[in-house]
Amino acid sequence: MKQSQKRKINWSRFLSGVPAGDYIFQDISYAEQMEQASALIKEAGLILIGAGAGASSAAGLTYGGERFTRNFGEFIEKYGSMYMTDMYAAGFYPFPTEEAKWGYWSKHSMINRFLPPALPLYQQLYEIVKEKEYFVLTTNVDHQFQKAGFQTERIFATQGDYGNIQCEKGCHPKIYDAERLFRQMDQARYDCLVPSVMVPKCPVCGGNMAMHLRCDRYFVEDEDWHEAAGHYHDFLKKMEQKKGVLLELGVGFNTPTIIRFPFEKMVRENRNLSFIRLNMNEAFVPESFGNRAIGIGGDMAKVISDLYNRSSI
Ligand SMILES: [Zn+2]
């Protein structure tokens, strides 16, 4: 896909309250985009980062391909390659028992949450914004922002965390740190199953436990979750007064109502705000934002690295 040509997006089923014809791939060079983006970041009093799956995938936490087959060979063999196509699909497999469910999820959590260190993309992103007043809104559940040094009170991870578990029916508003349990399961797993004695049970209702991931109406929003939501709303209030930049990273159309659509709405309604969208293939931005918006396509790891190099000049 050529980035340098201005093209109208013809996407008739596109729903976001914006006429589909307003979206364009910008007709400026990568060098110009980088210059504008780093200038916006430098001048901004406030930076709101919104990060989706594309950010972690660009950072190296890819869910398919070699990384999947290398780590999940045993699972692919046991459950069939028709279902076990990648880590995303595998998470939706109807595991027949709790031993099988935790056999999979303990592995998934080790691979995506506990074993990876802070990845360079997130570390560089932190270096870019650490002296600024920033806030992170993310649908990612891999803990990369915390690992890279972003302050916990400046992160709102709306969809959960691979490191925590909750009552499957959400019978009480509490989540539980599962690191020790998952590490033990990882040692004890045999034939993709964990021993029955390791299967966690809800301490309140005695029922099954589940990953703390928003996948149904039972997702637990505990005290910390509500506190983080409050911090996010406080930050949005500040953005109404100061010059700010919204930096959107790898947000697709899986849950666009959390980051993508609200970010565009804020920029549309507040002329003090600018918008930088980094997205592999969908870096189109509303043309009506004019020079307040920059959409940069392609490899985000390179874009962040280039922004990082510019920020330290
Ligand atoms: Zn319960």
| Per-residue pLDDT in tens (0 to 9) along the chain, 313 residues | 444 556 666 555 555 556 667 888 888 999 999 999 999 999 998 999 999 999 999 999 999 999 999 999 999 999 999 999 999 999 999 999 999 999 999 999 999 999 999 999 999 999 999 999 999 999 999 999 999 999 999 999 999 999 999 999 999 999 999 999 999 999 999 999 999 999 999 999 999 999 999 999 999 999 999 999 999 999 999 999 899 999 999 998 888 899 999 999 999 999 999 999 999 999 999 988 999 999 999 999 999 999 999 987 6
In a domain, 91, yes or no: yes
In a domain, 276, yes or no: yes
Same domain? 54 vs 72: no
- Which residue segment(s) compose the domain that 275 sits in? 7-58+118-159+222-311
For ligand 1, the distance from its centroid to the CA atom of residue 37, given in whole angstroms, is 47
For ligand 1, the distance from its centroid to the CA atom of residue 172, given in whole angstroms, is 6
In a domain, 96, yes or no: yes
In a domain, 1, yes or no: no
What order do you get walking across the sheet with 133-138 strand by strand? 155-157, 133-138, 46-51, 244-249, 273-278, 293-296
Same domain? 132 vs 273: yes
| Burial class for 294, CB neighbours closer than 10 Å (0-12, 13-18, 19+) | buried
Boundary residue ending a domain (169, 186, 213):
213
When divided into structural domains, the chain yields a total of 2
Same domain? 150 vs 271: yes
Boundary residue ending a domain (213, 245, 280):
213
Ramachandran region of residue 149, left (φ > 0), alpha (ψ -120 to 50) or beta?
Answer: left
Same domain? 20 vs 32: yes
For ligand 1, the distance from its centroid to the CA atom of residue 163, given in whole angstroms, is 18
Protein residues within 5 Å, CB atom, of ion ligand 1: 167, 171, 202, 204-205, 207
For ligand 1, the distance from its centroid to the CA atom of residue 168, given in whole angstroms, is 7
In a domain, 2, yes or no: no
| pLDDT attached to residue 25 | 87
In a domain, 248, yes or no: yes
In a domain, 82, yes or no: yes
Same domain? 278 vs 262: yes
Ramachandran region of residue 40, left (φ > 0), alpha (ψ -120 to 50) or beta?
Answer: alpha
In a domain, 11, yes or no: yes
